[in-house]
Amino acid sequence: MAFPLPRPARPELPQRRVRALECGQGAVRAVRFNVDGNYCLTCGSDKTLKLWNPHKGTALRSYQGHGYEVLDAAGSFDNGHLCSCSADKTVALWDVATGQVLRKYRGHAGKVNCVQFNEEATIIVSGKGVGFGGGPVNTRAPPMFWMRPRTASPV
């Protein structure tokens, strides 16, 4: 008879603030880590998306291309691409290294509040609904799925 493995210890929650990033983006709408936790993205009301090294507190790149505030963002598994969404009703696919918008996806009737890649970063899903304590999800606005082209061309 095999005994079950013991439960792993719970991770310790942070006890103190390590650093505050001076973003200079107005209101920061979202902060997201990349897959391995070495970088983070801030989404600002100033229409920009910024890539940071949070361990050093340094800004690495600023991404500009949305017409209104940036509300959410996500990084691909290989850290080569970003996707972001905005109150300008668009979803943008970015090249991390060049900072260029590779493609803009349009189709939402209102502001886009959330965005995410699938595991392989071949599909982007975006939604109008508000999640996690921000209010009810708009059930009349279904999520949209965007296929990422194999070779994205400039907008």
The model carries a pTM of 0.78
pLDDT digits (tens, 9 = 90+) for 4-50: 888 888 888 888 888 888 888 999 999 999 999 999 999 999 999 99
Domain coordinates in residue numbering, the chain:
28-147
Sheet containing 81-86: give its strands across: 70-75, 81-86, 90-95, 101-106
The residue among 112, 119, 122 whose CA lies nearest residue 73 is 112
Q: Are 126 and 113 in contact (CB under 8 A)?
A: no
Q: How far is CA 100 from CA 26, 131, 152, 153, in A?
A: 22, 29, 11, 10
28-147 maps to which CATH number?
2.130.10.10
- For the chain, give the percent of residues with pLDDT over 70: 83
For the residues 93-103, what does the mean pLDDT come to?
A: 94
Task: Name the β-bridge partners of 105.
Answer: 91
pLDDT digits (tens, 9 = 90+) for 77-90: 999 999 999 999 99
pLDDT digits (tens, 9 = 90+) for 62-81: 999 999 999 999 999 999 99
Averaged confidence pLDDT in the chain:
84
